């Protein structure tokens, strides 16, 4: 609870955040204001961000083929089977399986997630990664769909389902990541079975239709007091039963063979599908960094290795804060396990 004086001090900060990707209805009392959202604040941020993204995207259209542009416009994602040449994929997978350097693990509900930051030592241990990160298709699709001519943040990510007792993994509820177009990419290193936690996506749900905008507006009114923490943080959950009224189909499951790439706009509704038993999904995973209201598509000086270093520094900082007794760090450091090892 903020005292009135704290409130007054925060107002300029909250106001300044309106032109950034800030999305928490709980932490930012302007974004979360029911009154302002009745006047259309959230809806205005959503529509402006979509207009700006569409114009940035048009300028990047040369990075992808006309067929990819069409697929993306219709579905909100582009999928490529057999993304790498077979021999190249076998090599990449073998290098990731053999990797025993430092990685991090977090427990989210009953799910364990592992991440390897692709800093210089990791890239040296797994040289085949360079073929993915440098691929014009990988680069082009992520930039076009993310409407940003900048390096994404990339990790090797493992998802170990039902690794613990606990509540369901929070990502298994159908949701939009945030209020503006943003990109995530998965290059699966394992085959993904339909009942082993596949990525799922509602085709066409990336489009800001009149129905979607009305839904966004309705959600924004009560988000600050939602019993769901993710909704309070601005990542709206949707009941699948509400899809038909918005003119949307059922979610599509990506039960796909290894070496399939999916690049999606995660303003569209998506979730991690259910897993019948214990399962392991390993992927090269990327997300585009977001600043929804800047009109230019380029001028982002971060390099891939600088971004990886930033993740590592963030993790170390978390360790220091824990050692100082301030707050436990949820990303645990592990050495000696590969992204493919069981929990
Ligand atoms: O891992 C998945 O299948 C989807 C998880 C998700 O919601 C996300 O990465 O934004
Ligand atoms: Fe998500």
Res. 299: pLDDT tops 80:
no
Q: Any idea what DSSP says for residue 248?
A: -
pLDDT of residue 309: 87
pLDDT digits (tens, 9 = 90+) for 29-50: 999 999 999 999 999 999 999 9
C-beta of residue 170 within 8 angstroms of C-beta of residue 107: no
Pocket flag, ligand 1, residue 143 (CB < 6 Å): no
pLDDT of residue 2: 62
The proportion of the chain whose per-residue pLDDT surpasses 70, expressed as a percent, equals: 99
Count Cβ atoms within 10 A of the Cβ of residue 326 and give its class: 0-12 exposed, 13-18 middle, 19 or more buried: exposed
Pocket flag, ligand 1, residue 72 (CB < 6 Å): no
Pocket flag, ligand 1, residue 199 (CB < 6 Å): yes
Pocket flag, ligand 1, residue 272 (CB < 6 Å): yes
Which 3 state secondary structure label does DSSP give 175?
strand
How many whole angstroms from 74 Cα to the centroid of ligand 1? 20
Percentages of the chain per state (helix, strand, coil), in multiples of 5: 40, 20, 45
pLDDT of residue 87: 97
pLDDT digits (tens, 9 = 90+) for 152-202: 999 999 999 999 888 888 889 999 999 999 999 999 999 999 999 999 999
pLDDT digits (tens, 9 = 90+) for 249-271: 999 999 999 999 999 999 999 99
How many whole angstroms from 171 Cα to the centroid of ligand 1? 6
Pocket flag, ligand 1, residue 265 (CB < 6 Å): no
pLDDT of residue 190: 98
How many whole angstroms from 53 Cα to the centroid of ligand 1? 21
Residues 6+ positions from 192 with CB-CB distance below 8 Å: 198, 199, 254, 255, 256, 257, 281
Worst-scoring range by mean pLDDT, 38-42, 90-94, 226-230, 287-291?
287-291
Residue nearest to atom 1 of ligand 1 (CA): 272
Pocket flag, ligand 1, residue 254 (CB < 6 Å): no
Res. 1: pLDDT tops 60:
no
Domains in the chain: boundaries? 4-334
Pocket flag, ligand 1, residue 266 (CB < 6 Å): yes
Which 3 state secondary structure label does DSSP give 83?
coil
pLDDT of residue 197: 95
CA angle 264/278/178 to nearest 5° reads 25
pLDDT of residue 166: 87
CATH superfamily of 4-334: q2cbj1_9rhob like domain (2.60.120.620)
How many whole angstroms from 137 Cα to the centroid of ligand 2? 23
pLDDT digits (tens, 9 = 90+) for 127-144: 999 999 999 999 999 999
Worst-scoring range by mean pLDDT, 1-10, 34-43, 46-55, 201-210?
1-10
How many whole angstroms from 204 Cα to the centroid of ligand 2? 16
pLDDT of residue 242: 95
Ligand number with the minimum distance to the CA of 201: 1
Ligand 1 pocket check: which of 173, 238, 272 to mutate, most ligand atoms within 8 Å of Cβ?
Answer: 272
Pocket flag, ligand 1, residue 180 (CB < 6 Å): no
Res. 291: pLDDT tops 90:
no
Res. 64: pLDDT tops 60:
yes
């Amino acid at each position: 609870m903020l005292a009135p004086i704290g409130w007054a001090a925060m107002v300029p900060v909250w106001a300044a955040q309106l032109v950034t990707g800030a999305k928490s209805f709980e932490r930012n009392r302007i974004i979360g204001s029911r009154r302002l959202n009745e006047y259309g604040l959230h809806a205005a941020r959503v529509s402006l961000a979509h207009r700006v993204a569409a114009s940035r995207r048009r300028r990047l259209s040369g990075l992808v083929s006309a067929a990819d542009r069409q697929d993306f416009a219709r579905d909100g994602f582009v999928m490529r089977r057999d993304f790498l040449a077979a021999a190249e994929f076998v090599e990449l997978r073998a290098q990731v399986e053999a990797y025993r350097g430092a990685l991090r693990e977090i427990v989210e509900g009953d799910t364990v997630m592992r991440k390897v930051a692709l800093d210089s030592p990791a890239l040296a241990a797994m040289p085949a990664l360079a073929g993915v990160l440098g691929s014009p298709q990988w680069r082009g699709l992520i930039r076009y769909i993310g409407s940003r001519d900048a390096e994404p943040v990339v990790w090797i990510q493992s998802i170990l389902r039902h690794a613990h007792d606990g509540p369901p993994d929070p990502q298994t509820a159908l949701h939009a990541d945030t209020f503006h177009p943003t990109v995530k990419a998965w290059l699966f290193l394992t085959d993904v079975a339909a009942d082993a936690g596949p990525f799922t996506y509602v085709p066409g749900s990336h489009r800001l239709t009149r129905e979607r905008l009305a839904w966004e507006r309705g959600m924004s009114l009560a988000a600050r007091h939602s019993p769901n923490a993710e909704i309070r943080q601005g990542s709206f959950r949707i009941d699948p039963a509400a899809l038909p009224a918005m003119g949307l189909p059922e979610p599509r499951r990506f039960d796909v063979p290894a070496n399939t790439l999916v690049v999606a706009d995660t303003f569209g509704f998506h979730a991690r599908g259910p897993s019948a038993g214990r399962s392991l999904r390993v992927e090269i995973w990327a997300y585009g960094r977001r600043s929804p209201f800047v009109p230019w598509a380029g001028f982002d000086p971060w390099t891939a290795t600088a971004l990886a270093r930033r993740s590592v520094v963030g993790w170390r900082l978390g360790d220091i804060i824990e050692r100082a007794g301030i707050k436990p760090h949820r990303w645990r450091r592990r050495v000696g396990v590969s992204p493919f090892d069981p929990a």
